[in-house]
Amino acid sequence: MSKQPLLEVKNLKQYFPIKGGVLGRTVNHVKAVDDISFEVYEGETVSIVGESGCGKSTTGRAILRLDEPTAGEVNFDGEDLLSLNKSKMREKRKDLQIIFQDPYASLNPRQTVGQIIEEVLKIQNIGTSSKDRREKIISLLETVGIGAHQVDRYPHEFSGGQRQRIGIARALSVNPKLIICDEAVSALDVSIQAQVLNLLKELQRKFQLTYLFISHDLGVVRHISDRIIVMYLGKVVEISDTQSLFENPQHPYTRALLSAIPSMNFEEEKRERIILTGDVPSPIDPPKGCRFHTRCPYKMERCAIEEPVLNSVSDGQRVACHLVEKGAVDYTKIPVNS
Amino acid sequence: MLTFIIRRFLQIIPVMIGVTLAVFLMMHLIPGDPAQIMAGERADEAQVEQMRENLGLNDPLHEQYLRYVGNAIQGDLGTSIRTNRPVVNEIFDSRIWITIELAFWGTVLAVIFGLIAGIISATRKYSFADVSLMIVALFGMSMPNFWLGIMLIYFFSVNLGWFPIVGWESWKHMVLPVITIGSGGAAIIARMTRSSMLEVLDNDYIRTAHAKGVSERLVVYKHALRNALIPVVTVVGLQFGTLLGGAVITETVFAVNGIGRLVVDAIKARDFPMVQGAILVCAVAFVLVNFLVDIAYRLINKRIDLN
Amino acid sequence: MSKSNNNILEVKNLCTSFFTDEGEVKAVDGVDFFIEKGKTVGIVGESGSGKSITSLSILRLIQEPAGKIVNGEIIFKGENLLEKSKKEMRAIRGNNISMIFQEPMTSLNPTMTCGEQIAESIRIHQKLSRKEAKEKAIEMLKLVGIPSPEKRVKQYPFELSGGMRQRVMIAIALACNPELLIADEPTTALDVTIQAQILDLIRKLQKELGTSLMIITHDLGVVAEMCETVAVMYCGKIVEYADVKTILTNPKHPYTIGLLNSVPRHDQHYEGDLPVIKGSVPSPFNLPKGCRFATRCPHARDICHNQLPELKTMDDGNQVRCWIHTDVWEKQEEEVASNS
């Protein structure tokens, strides 16, 4: 890992306006992503986890400028993507690719697999002749485990897992540096999901890829990530290396999230489960202070007033919580509010 | 809801500006000099100049437009060249009410027959009833109004003598024109209801209703129909516009003295103020009906947002 | 797993098929299992396994004529549901047997208030007045932990969050105090903290009301938390049927083993690749002639490809459909040994 990050997100904000009233003016904003910062280094896999509405997918889209962010910086390879003009940005997209959850929706049903990939190659001016491109397409498809004889088939002739492989091949076709995987394996059956996860890992080794992996599935995330970002209601609450996050989670929300996952482990004694009450508050009018305080079992008075900042609790683990401002704590010794 | 109505009403303003502008410009876009056309071919230079002065055609265009709109708001749509009576009186004394009556019953017929046929088709998908209803609907959609009108007159009036051939006096006079004008709409609504209903019947909440033990009949009429109506309502509103267009032909075929026939006569006589006035009134009617339809739409579908 | 008359539901040789232009799809092909009173059975499998069709077949909610229950018996409290008239079936649905579905977003009628939807079930089955039904609906909303139920009862589904909608679904399902609740992927569409709330609620209500429960899921974690007995399905057949501990700690069928291993787990650290089941589920139009898992099984031999194994009851009462766990396998092993 080099010292210089490949991707550096600084104070990124994504507010979506809400229109209302008689004149249809902007009356409020959905603060989908509200001032977040993080880095991704070359060759690593960083995951963003959180529940629906936490802003994880919005973050991915904002980095690629699929939605124009409200404010902030996205430095990629030393350049601020948000300051590029349209044609420069299009060129840059060669280095940043995205794979979506629903491979079927992102593949044009009227194009064969070969045409789908060739289109991308043409846009990015890759390959000299159509024969040259065809060879490249076939080798790409073989890389992701799809046979050369299937190159002229249409997306509906493939299964869900194969379609996701096609999506991956399309992303790979332009030799990107960073691939954003937005719930890329969430729609797949377990046995197929494992195959695709292994493929992603293999491709990373082979092509020195960097992944920004967006997922709600903590099992998948533990398996694939080097580092993990936990988001809640548009904010980053914890950034940590994978092992520390799962073995010693420090933010109360991370702890609740982990403990809520039904465990398949029968050997282990049943853990004490933290069941959060209520729903996630609205991102239109998020709670003051710490956004998690309305559901937090360890809530203190200042949590409702003062917003905590990310604070290093150990090497490679940063947490935004007043409880841990003086370093990591042993949660078994802290009483839970009733 | 009130905010919605106000907002929706405010949206009418730009539409009305567009409509009045289009109607106003019509006068200036037709080839030739309107004053010349109105004064007649045999008018001399002075008469044409006099006409131009009367019509205010020598003023700047925007002034003419503002005057036109200002007069229209006060209920002055000019004077008919042909009859020399105010256009407003020509339209509102009797003509428009006949057309409204015709359009109203046409819509009622279209909605009733369309809905019934659509529901029968959807609940008995691919049955004999479904296939035959949809074939009839296809005919209904593709049959031109004038042809259908003439055929109806031929069979029911001339051959069977059940209904009068022309005129607009008793309910008997109304039957054939209403069928003529409503059949196309009935066909479209039937097909729309069928497809909308089939889509709704495929929804998860229909399965939920079955799982609750709700009877087949209630599933269709209580759970499915209300949801299936949402797109149908929009079609009904748009259909009203076609109905006004259809009135021109239907009224001509049945010699009904409605606004449609008024327009035809006015065009033939090059009675421009009359044509302008009639078109404006029809456009306003269309906009108002769609305003009401949107409110109805929102009453059924509580989910739609202000935007 | 003793068989007794304490069974609320017995499914025997259930076969449900869909008839398409391309041919018959045997979505459920000879499924047997039972649910004891007050107990929880889980049906596990991936898409195409037939688990959801099994649950819909029990309530006879398969859409005809495309789909049809072609064989079998569904014995509910000693009576075969497949012999009931449509009217009798309606009296059972939502009353004796209820069902909740995966998608709380789409499973509620968008044009009816939550209260109307709960009250409807009560009015159909308990013949209460409109007012009484409404009161009962409020009571049900309270029971499923919805705050300020008097207000919620008048709201439309789109005004509620996903978790709240699933609570409303549960309220509808439990309104007439059913003896059996079928939950088809009840938490799959929900966030994990909300899933924990809903599972907790189902467990609590089951204890309070004594309802028997059948859970259809692809999530082995949910199985571990909720079920006592588990049936693992693959391509329309049960491949393993055992108590939950055996399934999760000592599974016998190669498919169950493969499935367990390929789940990336949040509570276990491991290096390198995930173990996978190679290949993909065979097309329902072209199922293997022998064991349906043979094309993907690491142990498959000739017999597996040619002959379908029976669901065999083991000494501990658990059942497995695999040649490895039959005498034939050992005999073949001996033959191979003596030949070489």
At A3-22, the pLDDT tens digits run 689 999 999 999 999 877 66
Closest by CA position to C82, among listed C7, C11, C5, C178: C11
Domain shared by B39 and B160, yes or no = no
Confidence of residue C28 (pLDDT cuts 50, 70, 90): very high
Domain shared by B110 and B162, yes or no = yes
Q: What is the pLDDT of residue C268?
A: 82
In the stretch 1-30 of chain A, residues with CB closer than 8 A to chain B read 19-24
Quote the CA–CA distance of A70 and C44 in Å, as a whole number: 45
Q: What is the pLDDT of residue A69?
A: 94
- Per-residue pLDDT for B304 more than 60? no
Domain shared by B99 and B186, yes or no = yes
Closest by CA position to A313, among listed A241, A259, A253, A217: A241
> Is the bond preceding C65 in cis, omega lying within 30 degrees of 0?
yes
* Of the residues B21, B38, B73, the one at which a domain ends: B73
Domain shared by B155 and B102, yes or no = yes
* Residue-range definition of the domain harbouring residue B260: 91-300
The mean of the pLDDT values for chain C is 91
Q: How far is CA B305 from the centre of its chain?
A: 27
Mean pLDDT, residues A139-145: 89
Q: How far is CA B194 from the centre of its chain?
A: 23
Q: What is the pLDDT of residue B305?
A: 42
Cβ C27 vs Cβ C67: under 8 Å = yes
Complex ipTM, two decimals? Answer: 0.87
Domain membership flag for residue B306: no
| For testing contact with chain C, the best of B126, B200, B201, B205 (most C CBs within 10 A) | B205
Confidence of residue C294 (pLDDT cuts 50, 70, 90): very high
The reply to whether residue A258 touches residue C199, judged by beta carbons under 8 angstroms, is no
Cβ C174 vs Cβ C140: under 8 Å = yes
The reply to whether residue A273 touches residue C196, judged by beta carbons under 8 angstroms, is yes
β-bridge pairing A178-182 and A96-99: parallel
Which of residues C336 and B231 earns the better pLDDT score?
Answer: B231
Q: In what order do the strands lie in the sheet with C180-184?
A: C97-100, C180-184, C212-217, C40-44, C229-234, C237-243, C319-320, C312-313
At C102-139, the pLDDT tens digits run 888 889 998 899 999 999 999 999 989 999 999 999 99
Mean pLDDT, residues C67-93: 95
Residues sharing a CB contact under 8 Å with residue C21, sequence separation 6 or more, in sequence order: none
Quote the CA–CA distance of B130 and B119 in Å, as a whole number: 9
Mean pLDDT, residues C175-200: 91
Domain membership flag for residue B249: yes
> Which residues of chain A are within 8 Å of residue B3 when distances are taken between CB atoms?
20-22
Residue B79 DSSP symbol: B
CA distances to B194, B286, C108 from B228, rounded to whole Å, are 9, 24, 15
Question: Would you tell me how many other CB atoms lie within 10 Å of the CB of residue C43?
Answer: 28
Quote the CA–CA distance of C243 and A1 in Å, as a whole number: 47
Quote the CA–CA distance of B152 and B254 in Å, as a whole number: 10
CB distance from C263 to chain A under 8 Å?
yes
In the stretch 185-214 of chain B, residues with CB closer than 8 A to chain C read 203-205, 207-214
Q: What is the pLDDT of residue A197?
A: 93
CB distance from B28 to chain C under 8 Å?
no
- Per-residue pLDDT for A135 more than 50? yes
Structural domains of chain A ordered from first start? 7-95+177-273 (3.40.50.300), 106-175 (no CATH)
- Chain B's closest residue to A18, CA to CA, is B307
Cβ C78 vs Cβ C252: under 8 Å = no
- Chain A's closest residue to B9, CA to CA, is A22
Share of chain B above pLDDT 70, in %: 96
At A280-334, the pLDDT tens digits run 888 888 999 999 999 999 999 999 999 999 999 988 899 999 999 888 888 888 8
Which residues, listed in sequence order, are joined to residue C26 by a DSSP beta bridge? Answer: C17
Quote the CA–CA distance of C119 and B28 in Å, as a whole number: 64
Q: What is the pLDDT of residue B306?
A: 35
Domain membership flag for residue B84: no
Which tokens is A54 given? 């936490």
Domain shared by B118 and B209, yes or no = yes
Q: What is the pLDDT of residue A228?
A: 97
Domain shared by B69 and B107, yes or no = no
CB distance from B71 to chain C under 8 Å?
no
Quote the CA–CA distance of C100 and C332 in Å, as a whole number: 47
The kind and range of the H/E element at C284 are none
The reply to whether residue A21 touches residue B3, judged by beta carbons under 8 angstroms, is yes
CB distance from A265 to chain C under 8 Å?
yes
Domain shared by B212 and B108, yes or no = yes
Quote the CA–CA distance of C252 and A172 in Å, as a whole number: 40
Q: What is the pLDDT of residue A227?
A: 96
CB distance from B3 to chain A under 8 Å?
yes
Minimal Cα–Cα distance from B4 to chain A, Å? 7
How does C175-199 read in b/e, with b if 16+ C-beta sit within 10 Å? bbebbbbbbbbbbebbbbbbbbbbb
Confidence of residue A271 (pLDDT cuts 50, 70, 90): low
Mean pLDDT, residues A47-63: 93
> Which residues of chain C are within 8 Å of residue B226 when distances are taken between CB atoms?
111-112
- Per-residue pLDDT for A1 more than 60? no
Cβ A53 vs Cβ A233: under 8 Å = yes
- Per-residue pLDDT for B96 more than 80? yes
Number of domains in chain B: 2
Q: What is the pLDDT of residue A338?
A: 53
Rounded (10°) angle between helices B96-123 and B259-268: 120
Confidence of residue B299 (pLDDT cuts 50, 70, 90): confident
Mean pLDDT, residues C261-283: 87
Domain shared by B30 and B107, yes or no = no
Cβ A188 vs Cβ A161: under 8 Å = yes
Q: What is the pLDDT of residue B270?
A: 77
Give residue for tokens 């199922």: C287
Domain shared by B96 and B69, yes or no = no
Confidence of residue A269 (pLDDT cuts 50, 70, 90): low
Domain shared by B234 and B284, yes or no = yes
| For testing contact with chain B, the best of A16, A22, A30 (most B CBs within 10 A) | A22
**DSSP readout, C222-242?**
HHHHH-SEEEEEETTEEEEEE
Quote the CA–CA distance of C331 and C334 in Å, as a whole number: 5
Question: Would you tell me how many other CB atoms lie within 10 Å of the CB of residue A144?
Answer: 21
β-bridge pairing A79-80 and A71-76: antiparallel
Give residue for tokens 């409290």: C77
Rounded (10°) angle between helices B204-212 and C114-126: 30
The reply to whether residue A24 touches residue B3, judged by beta carbons under 8 angstroms, is no
CATH code assigned at B215? 1.10.3720.10
Structural domains of chain C ordered from first start? 7-96+178-270 (3.40.50.300), 105-177 (no CATH)
Q: What is the pLDDT of residue C338?
A: 76
Domain shared by B51 and B140, yes or no = no
Sign of torsion over alpha carbons C89, C90, C94, C96: negative
> Which residues of chain C are within 8 Å of residue B302 when distances are taken between CB atoms?
111, 156, 158
CB distance from C197 to chain A under 8 Å?
yes
> Which residues of chain B are within 8 Å of residue A24 when distances are taken between CB atoms?
7, 306-307
CB distance from A148 to chain C under 8 Å?
no
Q: What is the pLDDT of residue C1?
A: 44
At B106-154, the pLDDT tens digits run 889 999 999 999 999 998 888 898 999 999 888 888 888 888 888 888 8
Quote the CA–CA distance of B211 and C121 in Å, as a whole number: 10
Q: Partners for B (CB, 8 Å, 3+ pairs)?
A: A, C
Mean pLDDT, residues B269-293: 85
At B211-256, the pLDDT tens digits run 999 999 999 998 999 889 888 888 887 787 777 778 888 888 888 8
Q: What is the pLDDT of residue A268?
A: 61
Cβ A33 vs Cβ A61: under 8 Å = no
CB distance from C298 to chain A under 8 Å?
no
Q: Partners for A (CB, 8 Å, 3+ pairs)?
A: B, C
Domain shared by B105 and B160, yes or no = yes
Q: What are the backbone angles phi and psi of residue A281, rounded to the nearest 5°?
A: -65, 165
Domain membership flag for residue B275: yes
CB distance from C270 to chain A under 8 Å?
yes
Mean pLDDT, residues C166-190: 92
